[in-house]
Amino acid sequence: MTTEVIVLNGGSSSGKSGIVRCLQAVLPDPWLALGTDTLVDAMPASMQASDAGIQFAPDGQVSVGPEFRTLEAAWIAGVAAMARTGARVIVDEVFLGGTDSRKRWQKALGGLRVLWVGVRCDSAVAADREVARGDRVIGMAASQADVVHRGMVYDLEVDTTHAESMECARTIAAYVS
């Protein structure tokens, strides 16, 4: 049974994107990297200033509305369709809705072989990375570090607090068959 989709779930600045790039380098076959940032970047700017879209509060809290959910559902279905037609996909996600977020992905990915990976990082370390990045609302990392993992059960967990992206990628790659 070959893994077709790898879903990485972790808070902002937890190191998911670095792990994704390293996974693409160490896995023997080509894998597409798609994530929640890909979705948000594809949306019109007006969606980032609307109650119906996605909003980033000054304290780092994120809220989404019905138009965002509609586009997200279509996007998730599209990612699943790519996997069903032979593309291997690594999903870089932030399950702000906890288990409800995962259920949306599980439904769409039904019948596919998925490796569910929790990417943990100490909130203080993630917050420091957030400041260094300079492209996130300060507070997102701290507010998301634990909440995205509540109620989650993973096939595998990695912790980037002290481990480098490549080390985490190699751990994940060992589970991909």
CA dihedral in degrees (19, 142, 69, 157; nearest 10)?
A: 40
Other residues' Cβ atoms within 10 Å of the Cβ of residue 92: 20
Q: Which tokens is 111 given?
A: 């019948």
Taking a C-beta distance cutoff of 8 angstroms, is the pair 8, 90 a contact?
A: yes
CA 33, CA 6: separation in Å to the nearest integer?
10
Selecting among 37, 122, 155, 159, the annotated active-site residue is 37
Q: Which tokens is 63 given?
A: 């809220």
Q: Say whether 29 is catalytic.
A: no
Residues annotated catalytic, as ranges: 37
